[in-house]
Amino acid sequence: MKGFDNTGSTEPLQPGLLGLIYRRLAPVLKENRPRVLLALLCLIAAKGGLLLIPFLLKALVDGLDAGAEATSLMLLLLLVVAYGAARLANTLFGELRDTLFGRVTERAMRRIGIQVFRHVHSLDLDFHLNRRTGGLARDIERGTSGISFLLRFFIFNIAPTLFEIAMVTGILLLSYGWPYAAIVLTSVTLYGLYSFRATAWRTRFVREVNEADSSSNTRSVDSLLNYETVKYFTNEEFEAERYDESLATWEVARRKNRLSLFALNGGQALIIALSQTSMLALAAWQVQSGDMSLGDFVLVNQFMLQLFMPLGFLGFVYREIKSSLANIERLFALLDRQPKVSDKSDARDLEVNTSTLSFNAVGFSYDDSRPILRDVSFSIMGGEKVAVVGASGAGKSTLVKLLFRFYDPESGSVTIDGQDLRDLSQRSVRRQIAIVPQDCVLFNDTLRENIRYGNPEADDDELLKAIATAHLEDFVARLPKGLDTVVGERGLKLSGGERQRVGIARAAIKDAPILVFDEATSSLDSRSEQAVLDAFSSMAQQHTTLVIAHRLSTVIDADRIVVLHSGKVVEQGKHHDLLLENGYYSQLWQAQQRRSEQD
Ligand SMILES: Nc1ncnc2c1ncn2[C@@H]1O[C@H](COP(=O)(O)OP(=O)(O)OP(=O)(O)O)[C@@H](O)[C@H]1O
């Protein structure tokens, strides 16, 4: 089959990959055993029909050649009908086989799809910060289609075609002697060797196309995700040029790939033509010398045609399987990737008592080993509200990431009610903490669904209560579509203050004993800021609350203020006491006061 292109990646294959694939797919095949068996029966029936065709044709031609006296009309008619039936059986059983097996392939794709989705969600924050969404999506898509291809073609193409080659060689050997069998075997071997070598040579062109394809996709997705930034800086043209650059690389890679495909297909066609010509020449000579009937000539020709059709296809399938395997390998490498933070095998569920939160001599750095937190110790007793303040980059948000166990501390520990987070299941910890993040990103869905995301099982009463807590009633009442208003991509149709209050409602509906509030008040005007703070205060009552404060004036009522400077706790205490100390906090306070007076 000519003209098929191969767009999968063809990196070197690891030994044992087939075994690995089998192990992952075996449950799907087992689960659908009757279907798989039925499909195999259809395959045998289809091939049986196909093998009959040359014999029927031979009988027909010989019958016609012998003339009306030697062959009855009835027999000829029967042969024609049988020929038609054999053709029909071949096509019909082939279709039936595909239809039956389609369900198995789809089930396998679904199973792998959900497995990958779950796995990607289980990976650590670093993976997600580093990933290129567009490229990752392409890898997943290629991997799952690779699995579908492999299932269909390995079972229904490679194995049956090899079987067919053996059958035809045997028939020709027994009926017409070794020269025919030798031609078939030589051409099949040549064809196989050539396809193998040429495919290996083409690998790098295919890889170039894939890399260019992934990188142009990454670029376009990245650019569209940052739509606003592009607009702010009027960089549409710059973005288009960069995208076009990667498309140009893709275009060149595709051209090289196509030329190499031409070389491959051309070589294959040459081998097929040579063997078919020599086979027919031999048969024609034997007919001339009276060693063969006309029917035999037709039979040999028909077998050759039938044999080279799947053989041409085998070349394509071989290339595709090779690239599918490489794509699947990439997908499995993703599946095998271990999250940097994972539950211990004997992880317990968090048992909440007073919900006291403690950072105990915590030391931490990200991958670049720059120390971010140094010997940080402080506690928040059940029901207390503690604020963490400090200059930008001091490590405040890093504390929250440790609390959610996106990372583990390098030294020291984080505990809730005396239980080290490292000994607990991540899920049980995260269920007990509600967060209002600094930049509250919403799904492009209705306001109702966005709030309910905090607790998808919440009923309407709980929803209304959360809306009241977040002081969102007036806002919702003013919207023509109320709670059914769609908030736009990442919630950008709402103002910053409204988004934060939706974040508060979402956290409120979660109803967790520990509350984290990463203030975004610096980006809000004073009215929105007050609305957000009021909403937050109504929720914070009776919760253990950690506030990451950017504006000191918003946390003067905190039970304690922890002052971070370059990753170290330099002071902690109540607002007034800290001012009296006249230290770093007092300097920060005065600087902010001066700034707001100037404003
Ligand atoms: N994933 C990461 N990998 C490497 N470095 C990081 C990562 N996340 C944060 N950092 C670095 O860690 C330091 C502390 O960051 P953090 O976000 O905790 O500061 P912050 O006090 O919350 O700042 P801000 O008030 O500006 O939000 C910064 O210098 C930042 O560049």
Is the shortest distance between the CB of 129 and ligand 1 below 6 Å?
yes
Is the same domain home to 307 and 449?
no
Q: Is the CB of 393 under 6 A from ligand 1?
A: yes
Instruction: Give yes or no for residue 396 CB within 6 A of ligand 1.
Output: yes
In a domain, 6, yes or no: no
Q: What is the pTM of this model?
A: 0.70
In a domain, 530, yes or no: no
- In ligand 1, the atom with minimum distance to the C-alpha of 438 is 27
| 453 CB neighbour count, 10 Å cutoff | 16
Residue from 123, 130, 368, 372 whose mutation best tests the ligand 1 pocket (most atoms within 8 A of CB): 372
Q: Which of 316, 336, 356 is the last residue of a domain?
A: 336
CB of 395 sitting under 6 A from ligand 1: yes
Element (H, E) at 435: strand 433-436
| Cα 499-505-511 angle, rounded to 5 deg | 145
306 and 452 co-located in one domain: no
Residue-wise pLDDT tens digits, 146-178: 888 888 777 777 777 787 888 888 888 888 888
Residue 13: per-residue pLDDT: 45
Residue ending a domain, choose from 336, 352, 380: 336
- Is residue 331 located within the same domain as residue 451? no
Q: How far is CA 558 from CA 555, 575, 597, in A?
A: 5, 8, 23
pLDDT of residue 105: 86
User: In this structure, are 324 and 468 located in the same domain?
Assistant: no
And the tokens for 68?
A: 């009306």
What pLDDT does 599 receive? 66
Residue 366 lies in a domain: no
Nearest Cα neighbor of 202 from 6, 431, 449, 479 is: 6
Among candidate residues 336, 353, 371, the one where a domain is terminated: 336
Residue of 396, 551, 562 to mutate, ligand 1, most atoms within 8 A of C-beta:
396
Q: Tens of pLDDT along 236-293?
A: 899 999 999 999 999 999 999 999 989 988 998 899 889 889 988 999 999 999 888 9
Do 328 and 459 share a domain, yes or no? no
pLDDT of residue 521: 56
**Residues 173 and 309 both lie in one domain:** yes
**Ligand 1 centroid vs 395 CA: distance in angstroms?**
6
How far does the centroid of ligand 1 lie from the alpha carbon of residue 450, in Å?
27
CATH code of the domain in which 458 resides: 3.40.50.300
Count of domains forming the chain: 2
- The answer to whether residues 320 and 456 belong to one domain is no
> Does residue 523 belong to any structural domain of this protein?
no
Any domain includes 562? no
Write out 109-169 in H/E/C secondary structure: HHHHHHHHHHHHHHCCHHHHHHCCHHHHHHHHHHHHHHHHHHHHHHHHHHHHHHHHHHHHH
- Cα distance from N-terminal residue to C-terminal residue, the chain: 74
Distance from residue 392's CA to the centre of ligand 1 (Å) = 8
Residue type, 116: V
Q: Which residues of the chain have pLDDT under 50?
A: 1-14
Domain contains 193: yes
Contact 10, 198 (CB under 8 A): no
- Tokens matching residue 45: 């029936």
Q: Pocket of ligand 1, candidates 397, 400, 518: which has the most ligand atoms within 8 Å of its Cβ, to mutate?
A: 397
592 within domain boundaries: no
- Give yes or no: residues 84 and 224 share one domain: yes
Residue 363 lies in a domain: no
Q: What is the CATH number of the domain that holds 105?
A: 1.20.1560.10
Does residue 372 have its Cβ closer than 6 Å to ligand 1?
yes
Residues 215 and 84 grouped into a single domain: yes
Provide the ipTM: 0.96
Residue 246: which domain range?
17-336
